[in-house]
Amino acid sequence: MPAIPDRESPESLSLLLPLHYFYAKEELPLPQVTWIEGAEMPEPDKSLLVHERDMTSTLTRFHECPIELEVIDSEVSDDYVMRMVVLRRSDDGRPVEYGAIGIDVGKFEGSIREQIVNGSAPLGALLERYIIDYRSSPNGYFSMMADRRIGMLLAQVEGIPLYGRSNQLTDADGIVFADIVEVLPRWEVK
């Protein structure tokens, strides 16, 4: 991971870009974010965030059930999708991740492109289903105080510290096709 950015730096805002987009759209201040080393995270957040895998498959294994996508807000252009989402357990609907993602859909064709644009499934599940070669490259880890929005979407108390990561997905040539901010709720240890 690169050096930890200063909270107010342009690099910090760049790492939070999909999240910043939706907050700016509603003229809301970003939640308080503190950049940390992945090793500083408590378990199980550390095991769920500090890796180079997609979150959908990681959360599916952890929760031992399929994960479903709920699109909260989205903006779609010809070649780009910005989306604010909550991933939920398919068995009981509990939220397991809040995310904001920007996807270059110009990289995809046919059915997968249509499903990405329509938000029919989490991106990681679609990449797996269509056997797309990609890399997950986290570029920052953080703790964040849950604000009203994220607290409500993740069924968390406002002001509680949550953990997350800034992540990029790249194709086989190393070209970025998705920028993602992923935030987890506090977990009940199994």
Per-residue pLDDT at 2: 47
Q: Is the predicted pLDDT of residue 7 greater than 80, yes or no?
A: no
Give mean pLDDT, residues 152-169: 96
The values of phi and psi at residue 67, to 5°, are: -110, 135
- Find out whether 33 and 142 touch, Cβ atoms under 8 Å: yes
Residue 188 banded pLDDT, cuts 50, 70, 90: low
For residue 87, which of 8, 164, 25, 176 has the smallest C-alpha distance? 164
- Find out whether 119 and 74 touch, Cβ atoms under 8 Å: yes
Is 43 a domain residue? yes
Per-residue pLDDT at 187: 72
Give mean pLDDT, residues 90-95: 96
Is 119 a domain residue? yes
Per-residue pLDDT at 128: 93
CATH number at residue 102: 3.40.1410.10
Is 5 a domain residue? no
Q: Is the predicted pLDDT of residue 55 greater than 50, yes or no?
A: yes
Give mean pLDDT, residues 89-113: 96
Q: Global pTM?
A: 0.91
Distance of alpha carbon 45 from alpha carbon 77, whole angstroms: 34
Print the domain residue range for 73.
10-184
Q: Is the predicted pLDDT of residue 20 greater than 80, yes or no?
A: yes
Is 38 a domain residue? yes
For residue 187, which of 158, 141, 154 has the smallest C-alpha distance? 154
Q: Express as a percent the part of the chain with pLDDT over 90.
A: 88
- Find out whether 15 and 137 touch, Cβ atoms under 8 Å: no
The amino acid present at 177, given as its one-letter code, is: F
Is 59 a domain residue? yes
Neighbour count for residue 78 (Cβ, 10 Å): 7
* Structural domains in the chain (count): 1
Is 129 a domain residue? yes
Per-residue pLDDT at 93: 96
Is 109 a domain residue? yes
Is 155 a domain residue? yes
Pairing status of strand 176-184 against strand 80-89? unpaired
